[in-house]
Amino acid sequence: MLLKVRQKQFELGDKPDKLLSHQLRGLQASRAIHKIKNKEGVFLTNPSEINDTFKDFYKELYKSKGCSDPSLLTNFLHSLQLPKLGCSEQAALNADITVEEILDAIKSFPSGKASGPGGFGIEFYKRFAQTLSPLLLRMFNHSFGELKLPQSFYEANISLILKKGKEETDPSSYRPIALLNSDLKIFTKILANRLNNCIQKIIHLDQTGFIPGRFSFFNVRRLMNILYTRFDSKTSVAILALDAEKAFDQIEWDYILAVIREFNLGDTFASWVRMLYAQPRASVLTNFNRSTQFRLYRGTRQGCSLSPLLFAVAIEPLTLAIKKNPLILSPNVGRINHHISLYADDIILYIRNPEQSIPPLLNLLETFGKLSGYSLNWQKSEFLAVTDNID
């Protein structure tokens, strides 16, 4: 938003605009980070040291801690018998990109958003869409032939947004938003549009986050039904709300690619995703300071159209593993058995006989975390007894 206002200021040139001046000063104050605590617990106030602290934090966060034995991941996914994308849907997902898709993607972006490191906002692409679209198509096709994207595609600036109610001196309290170059955003938007057309075929209705045509009130209604159901005295029921620890930032790329293959999304689509995560780099923006670049080795970028869909694909094996585990019991309401509700990385589990079900659930979550990078913040996860017969 700050960059947006600064862009508007440039457009106005020497024209007096008191409102713009006021907005700029207000945003500078609201987005400024005056003090931060480093990993040694020391509070820093120097702007350069604050920037270095965030860089060190994200360098560590984006280090891969992937599974050391790929066969464990393969066996885990094979055992779930994931649904497969049909031939016609796979063909559409993997077809050659067209100029029409590029034009549609360019048109879909709102104007006035902050640009990536290259400095060319989407307005430039909108203004010259007819001229640029064939050139972008040629560049995409060349990249696919080389199995490597242009270096500028891998660059990003990380803008930080303080999460509501979080401690502002803790680096983990900020949401990292990737400011990507517009040509990369156009490419990932095309892939996201295609995946949107078929993702309902492979992702269960339990997941309502970022899936076209699905709404969170479905899962809210399910939750209310369970809370107000009278279960018999021999049945104990509980609800477990899981809080994921930086879920989008810690998911492993090898895991994502393995799940893409297991869902039968196609070799070409898998190659596109592999290229996207071949060698991404980022710089952190704080207080008008920009850090030197550092490499990323895991995580999906918040700010990319494709990222939430890839995360939905990545988390789906966990939901199936929970539902297929005979030791993890779930309650019935009428004739319907309720296991799990999801909105992106927010997970609610419905547990029957928790004393019996929770130990195997914890084992499964630990296994899944080792394979995928997914981890939980147990201090923020919540347990609610629905029936009175739970100690």
- DSSP output for 222-273: HHHHHHT----TT--EEEEEE-BSSHHHH--HHHHHHHHHHTT--HHHHHHH
> How many angstroms separate the CA atoms of 219 and 221, rounded?
5
Which candidate, 346, 377, 25, 347, places its Cα nearest to that of 173? 377
In which band, very low, low, confident or very high, does the pLDDT at 66 lie, cut at 50, 70 and 90?
Answer: confident
More confident position, 4 or 96 = 96
189 belongs to a structural domain = yes
pTM of the model: 0.89
pLDDT at 159 over 50: yes
261 belongs to a structural domain = yes
Q: In this structure, are residues 283 and 292 in contact, taking their beta carbons and an 8 Å threshold?
A: yes
CA 281 to chain centre: 17
For residue 44, the model assigns a pLDDT of 96
241 belongs to a structural domain = yes
The pLDDT of 138-157, averaged and rounded, is 95
For residue 67, the model assigns a pLDDT of 84
Question: Could you read off the pLDDT of 320-337 as tens digits, one per residue?
Answer: 999 999 999 999 998 899
For residue 280, the model assigns a pLDDT of 95
For residue 12, the model assigns a pLDDT of 39
For residue 13, the model assigns a pLDDT of 37
2 belongs to a structural domain = no
Domain that holds residue 317: 32-385
The pLDDT of 248-272, averaged and rounded, is 97
pLDDT at 387 over 90: yes
The pLDDT of 121-149, averaged and rounded, is 96
161 belongs to a structural domain = yes
305 belongs to a structural domain = yes
10 belongs to a structural domain = no
pLDDT at 169 over 60: yes
More confident position, 175 or 11 = 175
For residue 30, the model assigns a pLDDT of 53
> How many angstroms separate the CA atoms of 136 and 284, rounded?
28
pLDDT at 15 over 60: no
262 belongs to a structural domain = yes
Domain tally, the chain: 1
Query: Rounded to 5 degrees, what angle do the CA atoms 88, 316, 214 make?
Result: 75
The pLDDT of 77-103, averaged and rounded, is 98
Q: Minimum mean pLDDT among 102-106, 221-225, 268-272, 358-362: which range?
A: 221-225
